[in-house]
Amino acid sequence: MPIDRSMCVLMYYSNKDVRVQEMPVPKIGPGELLMRVVASGICGSDVMEWYRRDKVPLVLGHEVAGEVVEVGEGVDRFKPGDRIAATHHVPCNTCHYCLSGHHTVCKTLLRGTHFDPGGFAEYIRVPAINVDRGTFHIPDGISYQDASFMEPLACVLRGQKRSRLQAGQSVLVLGAGIAGLLHVGLAHAMGAGRVMAADTITFRMDMAKRMGAHHVFRADESLVDSVRRVNNGYLADLVILCFDGFLSFALQTVEKGGTVLVFSGAAEDATLPGRVNDIFWRREVTITSTYAGSPADCWTALKMIQAGVIPIQRLISMRLPLKEGGKGFKAVANPLEHECIKVILEP
């Protein structure tokens, strides 16, 4: 039976103003799903205020796992009661970018797909295109909380694939927030010869060790020497930038012939420091970037979670009901004050 009532959502106005409000449960159409959200992670991008300021108020949340409540006409892969994880952005699979393997810069993925109203709600409508190529059965043995890591791990997986990380190479992750820690865990699991991490926050540095980093450094003026000291005199083959404040370190710590992956979003006015000749010429350094993950990356991420490749449970700092979502946003926006890595909201 269709659900004909209101639901609670977490309406975002700013990092300090997140309100529990009511709105109608979305109605679904042909090819769509209604999901009851069980676990929804707060992403670092959710607290980038400049990125949201022209769109507020809105319901955020895109790292979701839950249960199918209703299915629209024509849906045959899912039924009520199924446990699912879904991604909010999916590609068209037919454009120039998709056909050349760049699914995550597809215009449909960037602007044409999203949940209704957003993952910080009791229920969401999953559009038909997302049902078709961005919704997955949760494999046996995976909790809803673990499955909510599908989307962020897919992003990390795509980043390392694009960087062409090879077993035995050295990796330096700059910034040990949630994305950086997933990068540490994945690089370790994929056989990187030496995994290093740097940050300025002690509890994050400690967590990097728990996630598999062989060496952890404080991100300061001694970083270059520290990397050389533990890496046989060389800098890192791959530097993964997960905090734009460490951009200058990224360019200083990458070895000749190496790669810098700009993974995280930067501040609104962030610029590349340094002279072109110093960065590129005669050094053969590659600077690349990734945004989001493709449907294939999502499925691979789910299978990796099922296999226990990365100890993601260690990353969960808080599990909160929706009514305490404001507390979760403050913790993510101020990690030093709250010693917070990952917050999972449970509507």
pLDDT digits (tens, 9 = 90+) for 191-241: 999 999 999 999 999 999 999 999 999 999 999 999 999 999 999 999 999
Average pLDDT, the chain: 94
Three-state secondary-structure class, residue 234: coil
Does residue 85 lie within any of the structural domains?
Answer: yes
pLDDT at 1 over 60: no
Looking at the fold, whether 125 and 189 belong to one and the same domain comes out as no
Antiparallel, parallel or unpaired: β 17-24 and 6-14 = antiparallel
Q: How confident is the model over 108-159, as pLDDT tens digits?
A: 999 878 999 999 999 999 999 999 999 999 999 999 999 999 999 999 999 9
Domain membership of residue 315 as a residue range: 6-148+311-346
DSSP 2-65: ---SEEEEEEEEETTEEEEEEEEPPPP-TT-EEEEEEEEEPPGGGG-HHHHTTT-SEE---EEE
Cα distance between residue 200 and residue 245, in whole Å:
11
Antiparallel, parallel or unpaired: β 342-346 and 316-321 = parallel
Query: Among 1-5, 33-37, 47-51, which stretch is predicted with the lowest mean pLDDT?
Result: 1-5
CA dihedral 157, 322, 38, 316 (to 10 degrees): 40
Per DSSP, helices labelled H in 171-317 are 178-189, 202-210, 223-230, 247-253, 276-279, 295-307
Looking at the fold, whether 340 and 276 belong to one and the same domain comes out as no
Looking at the fold, whether 250 and 140 belong to one and the same domain comes out as no
Confidence of residue 2 (pLDDT cuts 50, 70, 90): low
Cα distance between residue 235 and residue 162, in whole Å:
20
Does residue 65 lie within any of the structural domains?
Answer: yes
Higher-pLDDT residue of 133, 2: 133
Looking at the fold, whether 246 and 318 belong to one and the same domain comes out as no
Looking at the fold, whether 127 and 199 belong to one and the same domain comes out as no
pLDDT at 3: 67
What single-letter DSSP state applies at residue 116? B
Does residue 325 lie within any of the structural domains?
Answer: yes
Does residue 294 lie within any of the structural domains?
Answer: no
pLDDT at 52: 81
SS3 content of the chain, % helix, strand, coil (to 5): 35, 25, 40
Looking at the fold, whether 282 and 196 belong to one and the same domain comes out as yes
Percent of the chain with pLDDT over 90: 84
CATH code assigned at 133: 3.90.180.10
Does residue 302 lie within any of the structural domains?
Answer: no
pLDDT at 36: 98
Query: Among 15-19, 109-113, 122-126, 322-326, which stretch is predicted with the lowest mean pLDDT?
Result: 109-113
Does residue 1 lie within any of the structural domains?
Answer: no
Q: How confident is the model over 253-289, as pLDDT tens digits?
A: 999 999 999 998 877 777 777 777 877 778 889 999 9
Does residue 82 lie within any of the structural domains?
Answer: yes
Looking at the fold, whether 134 and 188 belong to one and the same domain comes out as no
CATH code assigned at 272: 3.40.50.720
* Average pLDDT estimate for 62-71: 98
Looking at the fold, whether 122 and 167 belong to one and the same domain comes out as no
Looking at the fold, whether 71 and 171 belong to one and the same domain comes out as no
Looking at the fold, whether 118 and 173 belong to one and the same domain comes out as no
pLDDT at 270: 78
Confidence of residue 49 (pLDDT cuts 50, 70, 90): confident
Q: What is the dihedral sign for C-alpha 222, 227, 229, 235?
A: negative
Does residue 155 lie within any of the structural domains?
Answer: no
Looking at the fold, whether 10 and 140 belong to one and the same domain comes out as yes
190-210 per-residue burial string, b: 16 or more CB within 10 A, e: under 16: bebebbbbbbebeebbebbee
pLDDT at 12: 96
Instruction: Kindly give, in sequence order, each residue whose CB lies less than 8 Å from that of residue 123, ignoring residues fewer than 6 positions away.
Output: 3, 7, 25, 26, 34, 35, 36, 37, 69
Looking at the fold, whether 245 and 277 belong to one and the same domain comes out as yes
Cα distance between residue 295 and residue 136, in whole Å:
9
pLDDT at 19: 96
Q: Per the structure, how many domains does the chain have? A: 2
